[in-house]
């Protein structure tokens, strides 16, 4: 197993950045390299399947539905008690930059079903080709129940509260995974494993080469994006808040607001947060959603280290309460508000990604490059929460995601989808979003089912066959298939919006 690099002590780190991590603790003894020998064990086989999908976020949803619909016996492993990943557990309940000319197939089914179930709160998709950024938001509780039904209808075997903790590797091929759950440790055997954990958990823990680079260049090279979260507040008088915004355009024009409130509180040392303003949405009666929280990761710290995750959770909770108090005390409409809910996990951003047959690059996504082995199209640009407080979103052209990004370079029977695919930091910063995730998920699930059926490894699969299957099932496979007029609209958007900061 690959071990994380030497960590700077948290004491040193906290001296540098005193505002972070109030708990100074450097008791971890990893540097001494003490180990415990865990004896050999016989682990019972819980189940055998054609395709095992690890992780029930957007990529896993796409993969599981596609795999089962293409006839494979499919098992989906989810760590928590509901599907949706960041969309439900971190309450990022949005589909950003949705456009039926760009994404099709499973994601269209999912969104149509959400609409039919009354789960869409705000549909921004008509603005997608014009706006730099647009997002369709939904009710994550409707979504959770709907996904249970969709999985049952497709015949996916779903296991909740199950952690995929490693893989069974024989020579260069994966044969199955180890799971830990309430009942103990088990094995699930499968012909193809789709790693849609968002962190390349299975790939990394099975010793497959992964990228863990962080920022690719500049003074922040090697540093990772911080953790994020969202906050829901109840007891909000939305009309009063709207009136205040309207009457105070200098304080609350556009998305960002409360700049002077935040500035004053920061100057007085009453605010624990990094951004210069607040993003508040009101979409349900009495409820407001606050986004944009970010807990930075210092040099040498990583999103896959347990203390960093813990410190991130504690820091985010502190930020949430600081922002909540500030809003309650200063923003009209929030006088009687309460914290309604916070997430089950932080928004994990960059951690590990597989090293695939191809690495999608920054240049590929800016140029809108077409690939012969493309399996999905993305219109998402890099959305980078910098290692410190900076946030940059850049507009790019619709671009292809080639199959080579899903196929592990060195390990057979391992496919990646969503945030786990092989991409450089900037392409990752774009295609980590839910729309590309669900589409690459559909591609990975379809590829896995075809490979299992044809008894070949995913690497040996005829890409043409995969592309035909995806097209038949409604997916958009390449920018080459996108109508010219649609691409022209995107070109106008690209020219207009390139290099904008902080949307």
Partner 1 sequence: MKTITDPQKEIPVIYEADVVVVGGGPAGIGAALAAARNGAKTILIEKFNCLGGYQTLTFNSTFSLVDPEVQNGIIQEIIAELKKYEGAVERDLSKDTRKRKGMGAVFFDAEYYKRLLDMMMEDAGVKVLFHAFGVGGIKEGNRIKGIFIESIEGKRAVLGKVIIDVTGSADISWKSGAEVFSDGFPQGPKKGRHAGYGYTFFFGNVDIPKLKQLRKEQPEEWGTLRVGMNLIQKAKAEGKLYGNRVHFLISEVYGHNRIWILGPQYPIPHGHHPWVLEDLSEGEKDLRKQAWSMYDLFRENVPGFENSYIEKTPTMLLLRDSHRIVGEYTLIEEDMRQGRIFEDSIAISNMPPDVFGPDDEHDMVNNLMPYDIPYRSLLSRDTEGLLAAGSTMSVDFMVWCATRYCAPSICTGQAAGTAAALAVKNNVNPRNLDIQELQKTLQDQGARTSVKHMPKEVLAEYEESRQKKIKG
501 binds partner 1 (CB under 8 A): no
For the chain, how far is it from start to end, CA to CA, in angstroms?
Answer: 40
205 binds partner 1 (CB under 8 A): yes
DSSP conformation class of 126:
G
Of positions 11, 152, 253, 456, contacts partner 1 by CB under 8 A: 152
244 binds partner 1 (CB under 8 A): no
State the sign of the Cα–Cα–Cα–Cα dihedral 374, 376, 378, 384: negative
Q: Binding segment for partner 1 among 9-17, 198-206, 241-249, 394-402 (CB under 8 A)?
A: 198-206
Of positions 97, 158, 451, 469, contacts partner 1 by CB under 8 A: 158
Footprint on residues 128-147 left by partner 1 (CB under 8 A): 139, 141-142, 144-145
**Alpha-carbon separation of residue 131 from 120, 124, 229, 246 (angstroms):** 19, 10, 24, 22
Footprint on residues 221-240 left by partner 1 (CB under 8 A): 234-235
Q: Round to whole Å and give the CA distance between 303 and 430.
A: 18
Q: Round to whole Å and give the CA distance between 237 and 235.
A: 7
CB of 385 to partner 1, least distance (A): 18
**Alpha-carbon separation of residue 126 from 109, 143, 362 (angstroms):** 17, 21, 27
Nearest to 293 by CA among 245, 206, 225: 225
Of positions 131, 132, 314, 500, contacts partner 1 by CB under 8 A: 314
The smaller minimum CB distance to partner 1, of residues 206 and 497, is found at 206
Assigned token pair, 101: 């000319």
Q: Round to whole Å and give the CA distance between 418 and 351.
A: 13
Footprint on residues 321-360 left by partner 1 (CB under 8 A): 321, 338-346, 351
Q: Binding segment for partner 1 among 159-167, 377-385, 446-454, 488-496 (CB under 8 A)?
A: 159-167
The smaller minimum CB distance to partner 1, of residues 339 and 477, is found at 339
Footprint on residues 17-36 left by partner 1 (CB under 8 A): 22-23, 25, 27-30, 33-36
Residue with tokens 């592990």: 408
List the beta bridge partners of residue 188. 47, 177
Footprint on residues 170-189 left by partner 1 (CB under 8 A): 176, 178, 180-187, 189
Q: Round to whole Å and give the CA distance between 247 and 190.
A: 61
Tell me the per-residue interface mask from 272 to 311 with partner 1, x by CB under 8 A, - otherwise: ------------xxxx---------------xxxxx-xx-
471 binds partner 1 (CB under 8 A): no
For residue 385, give every residue at least 6 positions away whose Cβ sits within 8 Å of its Cβ, in sequence order, or none. 225, 226, 228, 294, 349, 391
The smaller minimum CB distance to partner 1, of residues 200 and 430, is found at 200
For residue 452, give every residue at least 6 positions away whose Cβ sits within 8 Å of its Cβ, in sequence order, or none. 50, 51, 72, 191, 192
The smaller minimum CB distance to partner 1, of residues 344 and 460, is found at 344
The smaller minimum CB distance to partner 1, of residues 189 and 255, is found at 189
The smaller minimum CB distance to partner 1, of residues 24 and 253, is found at 24
The smaller minimum CB distance to partner 1, of residues 97 and 187, is found at 187
CB of 286 to partner 1, least distance (A): 6
**Alpha-carbon separation of residue 166 from 21, 162, 277 (angstroms):** 30, 12, 41
The smaller minimum CB distance to partner 1, of residues 13 and 178, is found at 178
Q: How many residues bind partner 1 (CB under 8 A)?
A: 86
The smaller minimum CB distance to partner 1, of residues 44 and 71, is found at 44
């Amino acid at each position: 197993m690959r071990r994380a690099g030497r960590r700077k002590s948290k004491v040193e780190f906290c001296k540098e950045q005193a505002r972070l991590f109030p708990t100074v603790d450097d008791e971890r003894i990893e540097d001494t390299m003490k180990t415990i020998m865990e004896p050999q064990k016989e682990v019972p086989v819980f189940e055998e399947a054609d395709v095992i999908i690890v992780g029930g976020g957007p990529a896993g949803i796409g993969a599981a539905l596609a795999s089962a619909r293409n006839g494979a016996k499919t098992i989906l492993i989810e760590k928590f008690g509901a599907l949706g990943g960041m969309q439900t557990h971190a309450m990022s309940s949005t589909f950003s930059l949705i456009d039926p000319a760009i994404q099709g197939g499973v994601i269209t089914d999912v969104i149509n079903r959400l609409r039919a179930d009354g789960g869409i709160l705000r549909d921004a998709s008509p603005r997608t080709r014009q706006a730099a950024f647009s997002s369709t938001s939904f009710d994550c509780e409707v979504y959770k129940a709907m996904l249970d039904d969709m999985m049952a209808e497709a015949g996916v075997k779903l296991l909740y509260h199950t952690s995929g903790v490693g893989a069974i590797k024989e020579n260069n091929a994966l044969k199955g995974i180890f799971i830990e759950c309430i009942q103990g440790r088990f094995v699930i055997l499968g012909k193809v494993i789709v790693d849609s954990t968002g962190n390349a958990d299975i790939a990394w823990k099975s010793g497959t080469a992964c990228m863990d680079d962080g920022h690719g260049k500049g003074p922040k090279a090697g540093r990772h994006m911080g953790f994020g979260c969202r906050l829901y507040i109840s007891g909000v008088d939305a009309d009063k808040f709207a009136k205040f915004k309207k009457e105070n355009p200098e304080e609350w024009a556009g998305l960002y607001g409360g700049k002077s409130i935040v500035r004053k509180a920061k100057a007085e040392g009453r605010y624990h947060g990094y951004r210069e303003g607040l993003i508040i949405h009101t979409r349900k009666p009495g409820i407001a959603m606050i986004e944009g929280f970010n807990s930075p990761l210092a040099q040498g710290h990583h999103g896959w280290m347990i203390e960093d995750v813990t410190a991130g959770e504690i820091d985010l909770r502190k930020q949430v309460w600081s922002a909540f108090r500030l809003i309650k005390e200063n923003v009209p409409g929030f006088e009687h508000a309460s914290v309604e809910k916070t997430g089950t996990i932080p928004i994990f951003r960059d951690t590990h990604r597989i090293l695939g047959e191809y690495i999608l690059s920054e240049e590929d996504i800016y140029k809108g490059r077409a690939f012969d082995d493309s399996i999905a199209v993305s219109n998402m640009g890099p959305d980078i929460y910098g290692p410190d407080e900076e946030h940059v979103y850049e507009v790019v052209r619709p671009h292809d995601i080639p199959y080579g990004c899903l196929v592990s370079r060195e390990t057979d029977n391992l496919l990646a989808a969503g945030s786990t695919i092989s991409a450089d930091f900037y392409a990752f910063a774009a295609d980590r979003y839910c729309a590309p995730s669900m589409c690459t998920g559909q591609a990975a699930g379809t590829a896995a089912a075809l490979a299992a059926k044809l008894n070949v490894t995913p690497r040996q699969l005829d890409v043409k066959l995969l592309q035909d299957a995806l097209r038949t099932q409604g997916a958009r496979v390449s920018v080459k298939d996108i109508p010219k007029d649609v691409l022209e609209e995107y070109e106008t958007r690209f020219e207009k919006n390139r290099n904008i900061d902080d949307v």
